[in-house]
Structure 1
Amino acid sequence: MPQRPLLLNADMGESFGPWAMGMDHDVMPHVDLANIACGFHASDPDVIRKTLRLAARHGVRVGAHPGYPDMVGFGRRSLACSPEEVENLVLYQLGALYGLCRAEGLAVSYIKPHGALYNDMARQPETMRAVLKAVRAFDPALPLMTLATRDTTTARELAAEQDVTLWFEAFADRAYDGDGRLVSRREPGAVHHDAEVIVDQAVRIAGGQALTASDGSPLILAADTLCVHGDNPESIAAVKAIRQALGASGAGA
């Protein structure tokens, strides 16, 4: 049984026009938090609003999932943005989601940057500070989701400087390096595809048990939330199994 109650989160609303991405209808009933793409790396206003309605139907809290303005690269390529540009692009996307949330009677509950922006934020203090400044300017009560690593001292210090709460996130289906950072998707074995491996990693993280990092070292991650993905039938099965294994009974737990 898990020792830490983990909120399950998933990236949602990443389709664009007639192009479908993910299996949101299948994932939504099993998560607590929906990270809604805000239009820069994926999504459009129609997709965002439909996804918000889906989240409301299942009682799932919604958060902003802003990324670099990079539709072609799906937000997975770092862009040479200044800290001021990072702050502004995050604020812009928060405003877009806020408007659609307000139309549906919903609230933005947290912020989780996407892809390269998320990774840059975790590695570059100036990028982290820029995102934190955007959160503080928009609503300092909103938590910012960031990567749970072996040493989170710098992230905690920057968040304290801006008086913003952090939610530390772990991944059930990703490999970690010795520092507790995600192994690059370019590397073999960076993404787990076996449902049993994914569920086992989720249970280990929830129970405060050690994972094995890519360098062979034991790695314990102190996380508040666990990211799950659902873009194929196998991953949907894994999401359902994780929910059952963690002993929670549906969204909003």
Structure 2
Amino acid sequence: MKIDLNSDLGESLGAWRMGDDHAMLSIVSSANVACGFHAGDAAGILRTLRQAAERGVAVGAHVAYPDLVGFGRRQMDVASADLQADVIYQIGALKGLAAVAGTSVRYVKPHGALYNTIAHDKRQAHDVIAAIRAIDPSLVLVGLAGSPLLGWAQASGLSTVAEAFADRAYMPDGSLVSRREKGSVLHDAQDVAERMLRLATEGVVTAVDGSIVRLKADSVCVHGDSPGAVEMARQVRALLERSGVKVAPFVDMGVVP
């Protein structure tokens, strides 16, 4: 059994510090690195990329709506031409920084509101897909497990990876509980680790109403900005490995062509 463990990194901006990239990069196998639209400054992004390269952590472009004030968590009705150009711009910028850091961008994982919107919004989903295909069709698109996005992307010729969230609560239909709702973010590291072990071994998670949701996911995200994120990621990885589940980048374990 194998699974990828990823985290959103490179999100510090100037004097504002977000997460502990150095510590998280010693735990995760893939790093979703901010591209400057929702968070991250160029020097900090480059530093995170260099650390990822040193540790052999796979790098993905964490593209977002242009929303620094809202940390990319506000839904936007962006025109198709603008959204496609924004995504191309972000991937291109990260590719340049990654080359200097001695690594490369292997996949794309949209952030926040963009991630949630394109999981079901066909027009914006196809804009993001078109942008990825335009700049580098070999990039893998990471999306919410069970969402229509994955089928749309595969139909267009993109490789995809289904993702689950370690520290987020699920609705009975497999969608994430809105961050506006109480209990949407989980904080008990041991409970989260046990949930992710069950996901990896049985393919299920428990929803907020106690029902069982079946999810097929090859990557698990622990948000780098959550309180106690490093300890949570550490416990998740430790329990997985003690239970015989190998943690490795999905781009290196035959999940995608």
Do the two structures share a fold, i.e. TM-score over 0.5?
yes
Residue in structure 2 matched with residue 227 of structure 1 by the alignment: 221
**Which of the numbers 168, 175, 182 marks the counterpart of 2:169?**
175
Residue 232 of structure 1 deviates from its aligned partner by: 6.2
Segments of 5+ residues of structure 1 without an aligned counterpart are none
1:137 aligns with 2:131: no
Q: In the alignment, is the contact (CA less than 8 A) between 1:208 and 1:221 conserved in 2?
A: no
The alpha-carbon deviation at position 233 of structure 1 amounts to 6.8
Alignment of 1:35-184 (within 5 A): 35-149=32-146, 152=147, 154-184=148-178
- Quote the residue 1:242 is aligned against: 236
Tell me the equivalent position of 1:203: 197
| Offset at residue 92 of structure 1 (A) | 0.6
Q: Distance in 2 between matches of 1:10 and 1:129?
A: 25
Equivalent residues of 1:38, 1:48 under 8 A apart: yes
Pick closer, same or farther for the CA change 1:8–1:82 going to 2, 3 Å.
same
Cα 1:30–1:249 change in 2 (3 A) is: farther
Show structure 2 runs of 5+ residues with no match: 253-257
Question: 1:169 aligns to what SS in structure 2?
Answer: strand
Q: Is the 8 A contact 1:14 1:37 kept in 2?
A: yes
> 1:107 & 1:52 partners in 2: Cα distance?
9
Where does 1:10-49 land on structure 2 (aligned, <5 Å)?
10-49=7-46
Q: Secondary structure at the match of 1:42?
A: coil
CA contact (8 A) 1:58 1:251 kept: no
What are the superposed Cα offsets for residues 101-140 of structure 1, whole Å, 9 maximum, x if unpaired? Answer: 1222211010000000000010201111111111111111
Name whichever of 178-187 and 226-235 sits farther off.
Answer: 226-235
CA distance in 2, matches of 1:221, 1:36: 25
Matched residue type, 2:24: V
In 1, distance between residues paired with 2:226 and 2:20?
A: 7
Provide the C-alpha distance between the structure 2 equivalents of 1:112 and 1:56, rounded to a whole number of angstroms.
Answer: 18
Structure 1 SS opposite 2:36: coil
Which residue does the alignment assign to 2:183? 189
Q: Which moved more, 1:181-190 or 1:81-90?
A: 81-90
Residue 6 in 1 paired to residue 14 in 2? no
- Where 2:229 maps in the other structure, the secondary structure is helix
Q: Number of aligned pairs?
A: 247
Return the letter of the residue paired with 2:220. L
Give 1:37 deviation, angstroms: 0.2
Contact in 1 for aligned 2:25/2:55 (Cα 8 Å): yes
CA distance in 1, matches of 2:214, 2:93: 37
The letter of the residue matching 1:161 is: A
Deviations 1:21-65 (A, max 9, x none): 011111101111000100000001111111111111111111100
Which residue in 1 is equivalent to 2:255? none
Mapped partners of 1:96, 1:21: distance in 2: 21
Deviation at 1:205, TM superposition (A): 1.1
Cα distance in structure 1, aligned partners of 2:209 and 2:80 = 33
SS in structure 2 of the partner of residue 207 of structure 1 = helix
Amino acid in the other structure paired with 1:226:
V
Following TM superposition, by how much is the alpha carbon of 1:208 offset from its aligned partner in structure 2, in angstroms? 2.3
SS at match of 1:133: helix
TM-score with structure 2 setting the length: 0.91
TM-score, structure 1 normalization: 0.92
Task: For residue 145 of structure 1, give the secondary structure of its aligned residue in structure 2.
Answer: strand
